[in-house]
Amino acid sequence: MARRALGLLMLVATLLLLPTAAGAAPAPTPPSIDIRINGTNPDGSRPAASLVIVLGLTLLSVAPALLLLCTCFTKVFMVLGITRNALGLTTMPPNQVLAGLALFLSLFIMGPTMSAINDQGVQPYLKGDKSQSQAFKDGVEPLREFMYEVTREDELALLIKVSGEDRPANIQAVPLTTLVPAFVLSELRAAFIIGFVIFIPFLIIDLVVSASLMSLGMMMLPPVTIALPFKLLLFVLVNGWSLIITALVGSY
């Protein structure tokens, strides 16, 4: 009994002393986080790595808008989509396939422009040879020239008239807020023209098939289903994909 009482007393004393020991231990301090964004490194030669990361993340956030509005992606994707509709295929090829093909065709077409942007703006800035403003000004010039060459004068004059600005003396005087929408309007117009040309032969096939079914009294058969094999056969025989891609690349 005495041993059991002594053991119980020691257990109670241990439980009473545990909170005191825990309170006496020093509290852990959280690690400090210090984030600094400077324009240049301490030696002033190159931009800080943190600033380059921030600029890269910013560029990634606006990349979809730049891809849609400042490159040939919109026109290429629209032409591919119109071709699919002209064939009578609603879901094949899927939108993901068309978008991927349009993306790589856009990279192929925009390759020289992107190389010029990298040589004139990005690399000099990363090497510390140019400031941010100068690198942006020099880097945007190849893109401006690309859009200006594709943009029709009618769309550009319309945007200048709507904005109320004076007629610019040269390409450098055209603001991007005017050039970008004029470029997009020109691309949409060109895509619709190409789509019209693509639709004509397939529309003729639909008319011939419909007239043939009417003359044979097969009015219950859907003309779209009957015409689809002939459309696919015509598209394969003329090597349609090669013709369309060649026309798209050649338009730039």
Domain assignments of the chain as residue spans, ordered by start: 49-81+92-109+151-250
Average pLDDT rounded to a whole number, residues 41-64 = 61
207-216 residue pLDDT tens: 888 888 778 7
How confident is the prediction for the chain on average, in pLDDT?
A: 76
Q: Is the predicted pLDDT of residue 7 greater than 70, yes or no?
A: no
**Confidence at 203, pLDDT banded by 50, 70, 90:** confident
**Confidence at 55, pLDDT banded by 50, 70, 90:** low
Q: Is the predicted pLDDT of residue 238 greater than 80, yes or no?
A: yes
Most confident of 5-14, 63-72, 186-195: 186-195
Say what the pLDDT of residue 25 is: 47
* Closest alpha carbon to 141 in 127, 124, 153, 155: 124
pTM for the full model? 0.69
Average pLDDT rounded to a whole number, residues 57-85 = 80
Average pLDDT rounded to a whole number, residues 138-149 = 82
Alpha-carbon distance of 245 to 27, in angstroms, equals 68
In one-letter notation, the amino acid at residue 120 is: Q
DSSP secondary structure letter of residue 91: S
- Could you tell me the two tokens for 171? 């390409």
H-assigned helices in 127-165: 132-150, 153-163
Q: Is the predicted pLDDT of residue 241 greater than 60, yes or no?
A: yes
Say what the pLDDT of residue 22 is: 46
Alpha-carbon distance of 103 to 111, in angstroms, equals 12
The alpha carbons of the chain give a radius of gyration, in whole angstroms, of 33
For residues 101 and 9, which has the higher predicted lDDT (pLDDT)?
Answer: 101
% of the chain at pLDDT higher than 70: 74
For residues 21 and 167, which has the higher predicted lDDT (pLDDT)?
Answer: 167
Question: Are the beta carbons of 199 and 86 closer than 8 angstroms?
Answer: yes
Say what the pLDDT of residue 37 is: 47
Alpha-carbon distance of 179 to 59, in angstroms, equals 20
- Could you tell me the two tokens for 139? 């880097």
**Confidence at 236, pLDDT banded by 50, 70, 90:** confident
Question: Are the beta carbons of 56 and 65 closer than 8 angstroms?
Answer: no
Q: Tokens 């003329």 identify what position? A: 238
Question: Are the beta carbons of 101 and 80 closer than 8 angstroms?
Answer: yes
Please state whether the peptide bond connecting residue 26 to the residue before it is cis, i.e. omega within 30 degrees of 0.
no
